Structure 1
Amino acid sequence: MIEVTNLSINYGDNTVVDNLSFSLAQKEILMLVGPTGCGKSTILKAIAGLLPIESGEIKHQSWTATAKKHVAPEKRKLGMVFQDFALFPHLTVIENVSFRLKSHEKAEHWLAVLGLSNFKHVKPNQLSGGQKQRVALARTLAHEPALVLLDEPLSSLDAALKDELRWQIRSALKEAGVPAIWVTHDQEEALSIGDKVGVLLNGKLEQLAPPHECYTTPVNKFVARFLGDANFIQGEYSSTEGVVTSIMGKSVIHIHENLEDNVELLVRPEDLNLQANDKGIGKIIWSRYEGKSRLFLVELATGEQLRVRESNTLQLQTGQSVSIAINTASKLNAYNIR
């Protein structure tokens, strides 16, 4: 496992990671997400020993690093997987994977696990991007690291490759039984692959929780927006009933902060239903075909605009009046208006 406690990192006078704390158990995969410049890659570099830390502690089973006690990268027993693959172009796949190993046994194992046995005598320039990334992962795992750090490993690949490859990487990490910290800018990737998701903003951890919890009960509006489409409807909160009353009626909510009387209710596009209705409270502003679904923008009588995701078979025209209703039985989330 690894434990990070009160970690801060500065670039000159600028604090880029601010008092960060988290722990990671054996076999767990932590996905770090956040906007550009939030400190994701900086955290990986600090854990790898490639950047000095201002304060705090990074503790592994066999070493502890602090601002006053630097541990060299080669002594941390870490594996790193980058988006640019970092393969030796003059070596074959098996030679890349077994580089500095005494035998090819471990390399052969991980190439088989990742479906690359037929390519072991091929040079990197004969491989696709997805194959190169699997070779890079096989090389990392063949060296039996105590922790794997992945810095946006799929960002340079075509969208069609990403879904299958992300699951191959997850399966290989789980088979290796090694914890991993995976930095990504892809919210779907983070929610589907991680055992935990950490959402960062300006170097601070806004929320650290299992993916389902981050999506269904985000701690604030930033997390809600960052992890998916989010609608916010103004309403009035009743502490005695535990409900918010809005133009959509009464909604039972999770209570996760000291709510005031006037709040904003979080409703995801998939939590809403549309129906053509000449006397409805909304009208269609636009619709977008998404393949399996169709996304509508609806303007309510209050002037608020909501995104609604429906089946692609629903045909509604721009300007058409509609009724709109919340379709989920789950508790919703509300936030103070700020």
Structure 2
Amino acid sequence: MEMQRSKGVNIKNLTRTYIIHGGNSEFKAVDNISIDIKAGEFVTLLGPSGCGKTTTLRMIAGFEIPTEGEIFLGGDKINNLTPDKRDTAMVFQSYALFPHLNIYDNIAYGLRIKKMNKEELDKKVKDIIELVGLNGMEQRYPNQLSGGQQQRVALARALVMEPGVLLFDEPLSNLDAKLRVYMRTEIRKIQKKVGITAIYVTHDQSEAMSLSDRIIIMNKGIVEQVGTPKEIYYTPATQFVADFIGTANFIDGNIISIKDNKAVIKVGDVELNLPYKGTKKEGDSCKIVLRPEAIQIDKKGLFKGKIIASTFMGAFQDYTIQLENSVLKCEDFNPQIKKIYEEDQEVFISFHEDNVHII
């Protein structure tokens, strides 16, 4: 089943303002954001609660009206179209299935409203049921299905309409942890197979990392960074992004000199020669972002520290290390073949220059 109709989405200077406290003040849920999403791309809006991601999705769907700005779908402006006139379909967190209809009729519902002829409808519904792996369950009702199966029905019901863009509003948050991991793999597999444009909202970073071609990180109504999962993880644009995706250590330093995409950065008494392509100048203070898995612990190294916590986590030994001016988290993988350091032991830490990022 090929879906050649997938469309790009362009958002220009989009703002959504709410009037609060009896009209005395305003709250900008979304603050002048611009985003370009290519046809066939899987893009995730990621951020903490209240960052504006769901409001953005609801504006694309037509459930919220923008205060300012424009939304284009496949090059056409859709601001003034009602949700049913937009070439989009939404998969909700609550599944929103009709309890009195069986699975077949739930999936066929939208096509019947479009007055599609019986033969074509039957073929489309059967194709979609096969695609989402629900063969043999057509006559069951929603209350006879597991959460994961209900989520597949919701996905099938959206896909069968062959929308230009598929919208997901935290669709897996009602499922248990193992099923979530399984279902996100399934969603990505189906999206790639049909080639549909997908915009997905979540606050779960591992979900965003595993699903997305690109991630849009939002915070307080603005876009902090847009990039591939690797770009966001290894080269975060801001401290917020570094802190929100994975675990990050921050070491304060001062820039002594910059030359040929390299910066000499002083941290305490140590001078580090590190790759740098940013906009800071000599004399500026900076932060070095260092991921826990990038730290090496040894009997010699760049910085002297003391182990203040050492916890066995199975796949890795989790250390908290006190340096002179900062506390670092370190994950030392495959501890079975490594030396395990205990609390109060003096250690040295080092890292490869390619594993650090400066903001």
TM-score, normalized by length of structure 2?
A: 0.87
Alpha-carbon distance in structure 1 between the residues aligned to 2:276 and 2:184: 32
Pairing of 1:134-283 with structure 2 (within 5 A): 134-237=152-255, 238-240=257-259, 241-246=262-267, 250-261=272-283, 262-275=285-298, 281-283=304-306
- Give the aligned residue type for 1:243: V
How many equivalent pairs are there? 330
CA contact (8 A) 1:280 1:321 kept: no
In angstroms, what is the RMSD of aligned CA positions?
Answer: 2.0
Contact 1:6–1:19 (8 Å) recurs in 2 = yes
Structure 1 residue runs of 4+, over 6 Å off? none
> Would you say the 8 A contact 2:275–2:353 is kept in 1?
no
2:40–2:195 Cα contact (<8 Å) kept = yes
Residue 293 of structure 1: which of 305, 316, 341 is its match? 316
CA contact (8 A) 2:318 2:329 kept: yes
Identify if the C-alpha distance between structure 1 residues 251 and 137 changes in structure 2 by more than 3 Å, giving closer, same or farther: farther
Say if 2:79 is the partner of 1:61: no
The whole-number CA distance in structure 2 between the counterparts of 1:242 and 1:15 is: 38
Q: Do 1:254 and 1:331's aligned partners in 2 also have CA atoms closer than 8 Å?
A: no
User: Cα–Cα, structure 1 residues 291 and 85, in superposed 2: closer, same or farther, change >3 Å?
Assistant: farther
2:5 aligns with none
SS of the residue 1:218 aligns to: coil
Partner of residue 146, structure 2:
128
Residue 107 of structure 1 deviates from its aligned partner by 1.9
Q: Residues 245 and 160 (structure 1 numbering): CA distance in 2 closer, same or farther, change over 3 Å?
A: same
Which residue pairs with 2:23 in the alignment? none
CA distance in 1, matches of 2:201, 2:98: 24
- Distance (whole Å) between structure 2 residues aligned to residue 10 and residue 17 of structure 1: 7
Please, which of 14, 18, 42 is the counterpart of residue 55 of structure 2? 42
Q: TM-score if structure 1 supplies the norm length?
A: 0.92
Task: Output the amino acid matched with 2:189.
Answer: S
Instruction: Say if 1:280 and 1:10 are closer, same or farther in 2 by CA, change over 3 A.
Output: closer
1:255 shift after superposition: 2.0
Q: What CA distance in whole angstroms lies between the structure 1 residues aligned with 2:123 and 2:235?
A: 46
1:171, CA displacement in angstroms?
1.4
Sort the Cα spacing of 1:82 and 1:291 in 2 relative to 1 into closer, same or farther, 3 A.
Answer: farther
Cα distance between partner residues in 2 of 1:186 and 1:291: 23
Task: Give the CA deviation at 1:249.
Answer: 5.3
Q: Is the 8 A contact 2:276 2:358 kept in 1?
A: yes
Q: Secondary structure at the match of 1:182?
A: strand
Question: Mean alpha-carbon deviation: is it higher for 182-191 or for 55-64?
Answer: 55-64
Deviations 1:177-225 (A, max 9, x none): 2111100111111112111100101100010111111111111111110
Output the CA distance in 1 between the equivalents of 2:305 and 2:89.
53
**Is residue 290–residue 355 contact of structure 2 (8 Å, CA) maintained in 1?**
no
5+ unaligned residues in a row in structure 1: which ranges? none
CA shift for structure 1 position 245: 3.5
Structure 1 contact 219–256 (Cα < 8 Å) conserved: no
In percent, how many aligned pairs have the same letter? 36
For the structure 1 residues 254 and 193, does the alpha-carbon distance in structure 2 shift closer, same or farther, using more than 3 Å as the test?
farther
Provide the C-alpha distance between the structure 1 equivalents of 2:311 and 2:137, rounded to a whole number of angstroms.
42
Q: Matched residue of 1:137: which SS? A: helix
Letter of the 2:137 counterpart: F
Give the C-alpha shift of residue 329 in structure 1: 4.8
Change (3 A) 1:183 1:280: closer
Matching residue's letter, 1:254: Y
Amino acid at match of 2:27: N
CA distance in 1, matches of 2:303, 2:278: 33
Is the contact between residue 283 and residue 298 of structure 1 (CA under 8 Å) also seen in structure 2?
A: yes
Secondary structure class of the residue paired with 1:219: coil
Deviation digits for residues 144-163 of structure 1, max 9, x if unmatched? Answer: 11111101111111111111
Residue 167 of structure 1 and its aligned partner are, at CA, apart by 1.3
SS in 2 for 1:118: coil
Aligned match for 1:14, one of 21, 27, 31: 27
Q: Does 1:334 align with 2:349?
A: no
Deviation at 1:133, TM superposition (A): 0.7
Q: Distance in 1 between matches of 2:299 and 2:130?
A: 55
Give 1:55 deviation, angstroms.
0.9
CA distance in 1, matches of 2:325, 2:234: 26
> What is the CA-CA distance between 1:332 and the residue it aligns to?
2.4
Pair 1:79 & 2:89 matched: yes
- Measure, in 1, the Cα distance between the counterparts of 2:46 and 2:110: 33
What is the letter of the counterpart of residue 278 of structure 2? H
